[in-house]
Amino acid sequence: MNKPLIDRFLKYVKFETTSDENTGVTPSTPGQMVFAKALKQDLEEMGLSDIELDDNGYLYATLPANTTKPAPTLGFIAHMDTAPDMSGLNVNPRIVENYDGGAITLNQEQNIVLAPDQFPELNDHMGQDLIVTDGTTLLGADDKAGIAEIVSAVEWFQQHPEVEHGKIRIGFNPDEEIGLGAHKFDVEKFGADWAYTMDGGYEGELEYENFNAASARITIKGLNVHPGMAKNKMINSILVANKLASLLPQSETPATTEGYEGFYHIVGIEGTVEQTTLTYIIRDHDRERFEQRKREIQRLVDFINGTYGDIATAEIKDQYYNMREKIEPVMHIIDVAEQAMRNAGVKPKVQPIRGGTDGAQLSFKGLPCPNIFAGGMNMHGRYEYVSIQAMEKAMMTIVEICKLSVKQ
């Protein structure tokens, strides 16, 4: 067991860094800055250079090159926040050594159990050491495992000065979980030729395709009159909203799609007879189908207006795009990552992301940035866990990428 790596991770998850999309500031919560300052101190104690923590909670640092051979400047990036889906306060992790394949009781008092009948991927971790929660919080492997792996890989190079590497830039950012992680990331200052986010899940994941993404906020205004005198007068916005929702294909939701299949996902509904608001996220890997989905939302709003009068409006906003179009011209960075994984004893698993990463936005800002596994599973909830062996291999994948990038 790589004790420094695991100790680092166990230290990091103790920081409460839950992000909040409602605050309107960056970082969105003060705990993220507290963590960033602690990380900065760790990097200073390691003797890294160009350490900078800006007012928005973005932390950058450099491990200088130790070779005169040609080598690109490589970047490795992870996010400091944890998802607002569940509490990240008072995280209490524990290690389950040599997992035997049975159910893991996370919290006996509350009867919270992590079991392979509900989470069959546990069967892939037989014999490994797992870090789990106590069932009352998330763990925070997303993405503090990535941070620990990056810092530990840099430390590995410091401890092996005989191994040549180019300039290594590391960056830790806030607010990825609320879609804002890359917004204020200074790509020019970072100065990497290309980078990798360490923010994937299962061991071997390598991702350079993600959803095109948009949000849709549909507002329907009703007409409320006394129900005893409502005939041919009342327009119940709740019923109209329900009608609109029913017109979207029921086979194109997150629960009915996989792989490259896109979807419409209703994430909120709030209303009265007088007014109802529907909130959707729209996702598709294919750019044209993505555009068609947005047009379909508008078509249904137009249909509602044609039926009931002008009572509905749609506010549709693009969020991010598929990074594939930015990665394909530089596919050698994927080849390097695949070979690095093999060198680290990992079987690469190239697959599309059914979501997005900071890397997607960074790629469109001029920094090609595919995503590599960090080892966490069941993210954003009480059943989150991470394999220590997967974390160790992720760390060594970083090392191998840097070694391979030095031209011999």
| Enzyme catalytic residues | 81, 176
Q: Tell me what pLDDT residue 408 has.
A: 63
CA dihedral 200, 206, 212, 217 (to 10 degrees): -10
Q: Are 166 and 115 in contact (CB under 8 A)?
A: no
Q: Tell me what pLDDT residue 353 has.
A: 85
- Tokens (6 digits) for 187: 């790509």
Beta strands 385-387 and 130-132, pairing class: antiparallel
Q: Tell me what pLDDT residue 354 has.
A: 86
- What amino acid occupies position 314? A
Q: Tell me what pLDDT residue 170 has.
A: 98
> Rounded to 5 degrees, what are φ and ψ at 372?
-120, 150
Place of tokens 């469109």: 364
- Tokens (6 digits) for 212: 């095109």
Peptide linkage before 129 cis (omega within 30 of 0): no
Q: Tell me what pLDDT residue 175 has.
A: 95
Mean residue pLDDT across the chain = 96
Kindly report the pTM of this predicted structure: 0.88
Give the pLDDT mean for 220-231. 95
**Percent of residues, the chain, with pLDDT higher than 90:** 94
* pLDDT exceeds 80 at position 1: no
* pLDDT exceeds 90 at position 219: yes
Which residues 6+ apart lie within 8 Å of 399 measured at CB? 153, 156, 157, 163, 344
- Report the alpha-carbon distance of residue 267 to residue 295 in Å, rounded: 19
Q: At what angle do helices 287-308 and 237-247 cross, to 10 degrees?
A: 140
55-93 tens-digit pLDDT: 999 999 999 999 999 999 999 999 999 999 899 999 999
The model's confidence at residue 397, banded by pLDDT at 50, 70 and 90, is: very high
Q: Tell me what pLDDT residue 153 has.
A: 98
Dihedral sign of CA atoms 367, 209, 145, 135 in order:
positive
Q: Tell me what pLDDT residue 319 has.
A: 85
* pLDDT exceeds 70 at position 121: yes
> Rounded to 5 degrees, what are φ and ψ at 376?
-70, 150
- Report the alpha-carbon distance of residue 265 to residue 367 in Å, rounded: 30
The domains found in the chain, sorted by start residue, are 3-209+322-404 (3.40.630.10), 212-320 (3.30.70.360)
Residue 249, Ramachandran bin (φ over 0: left; ψ between -120 and 50: alpha; else beta): beta
344-373 tens-digit pLDDT: 999 999 988 887 778 999 999 999 999 999
- Report the alpha-carbon distance of residue 82 to residue 140 in Å, rounded: 6
> Rounded to 5 degrees, what are φ and ψ at 64?
-60, 155
Q: Tell me what pLDDT residue 356 has.
A: 75
CA nearest 14: which of 35, 45, 39?
35
- Report the alpha-carbon distance of residue 63 to residue 49 in Å, rounded: 6
CA nearest 211: which of 353, 25, 329?
353
Q: Tell me what pLDDT residue 407 has.
A: 80
Angle, alpha carbons 197-200-205 (nearest 5°):
110
- Report the alpha-carbon distance of residue 374 to residue 79 in Å, rounded: 12
